[in-house]
């Protein structure tokens, strides 16, 4: 019982801190940048849930002008030991990326501000090639994606 209460407190604290660290840009002129990238390294914090650090390089810029091909990226991604969908963000908020999935990934896409903060909530319906809509951070390794689209 005490473990479940402590876990609930950690999850609540994590959700509050992750929401504060995300950006909600709901106007068409503030859609942010959508970048696809190759993941080089992932640092997982000692205690989960938390913020994983993803070191990557821009592979393709789908939207925005703050990033260029070949530019290094350093992203802070909410991560946890659990995850209902381990490699996809919900469009009405964030879902922590499963930390082990994130560690094994080599390819991702994200909607980010000019300063590199993840933008999780968006009312935009633009499609980005085969990847569809993008909010927050998504792992794109085909071997890790769900068999059936959600």
Per the CB < 8 A criterion, the answer to whether 140 and 38 are in contact is no
What per-residue confidence (pLDDT) applies to 83? 61
CB-side exposure of 94: number of CA atoms within 13 Å? 30
Q: pLDDT tens digit string along 77-116?
A: 999 987 644 444 444 556 788 899 899 999 999 999 999 9
What per-residue confidence (pLDDT) applies to 125? 74
Phi, psi angles (nearest 5°) of residue 28: -55, -30
| High-pLDDT (> 70) share of the chain, % | 65
What per-residue confidence (pLDDT) applies to 93? 59
Per the CB < 8 A criterion, the answer to whether 112 and 32 are in contact is yes
Q: How confident is the model at residue 136 (pLDDT cuts 50, 70, 90)?
A: confident
Q: pLDDT tens digit string along 107-125?
A: 999 999 999 999 887 666 7
What per-residue confidence (pLDDT) applies to 68? 98
Phi, psi angles (nearest 5°) of residue 5: -65, -45
Domain boundaries, the chain: 2-144
User: What mean pLDDT is predicted for residues 52-57?
Assistant: 97
């Amino acid at each position: 019982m005490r473990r479940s209460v402590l876990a609930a407190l950690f999850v609540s604290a994590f959700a509050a801190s992750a929401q504060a660290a995300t950006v909600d840009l709901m106007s068409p002129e503030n859609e942010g940048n959508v970048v696809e990238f190759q993941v080089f390294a992932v640092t997982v914090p000692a205690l989960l849930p938390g913020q994983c650090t993803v070191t990557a390089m821009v592979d393709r810029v789908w939207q925005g002008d703050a990033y260029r091909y070949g530019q290094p990226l350093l992203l802070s991604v909410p991560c946890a030991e659990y995850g209902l969908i381990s490699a996809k963000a919900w469009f009405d908020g964030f879902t922590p990326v499963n930390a082990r999935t994130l560690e094994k990934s080599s390819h991702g896409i994200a909607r980010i501000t000019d300063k590199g903060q993840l933008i999780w909530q968006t009312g935009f319906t633009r499609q980005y090639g085969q990847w569809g809509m993008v909010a927050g951070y998504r792992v794109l390794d085909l071997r890790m994606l769900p068999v059936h689209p959600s």
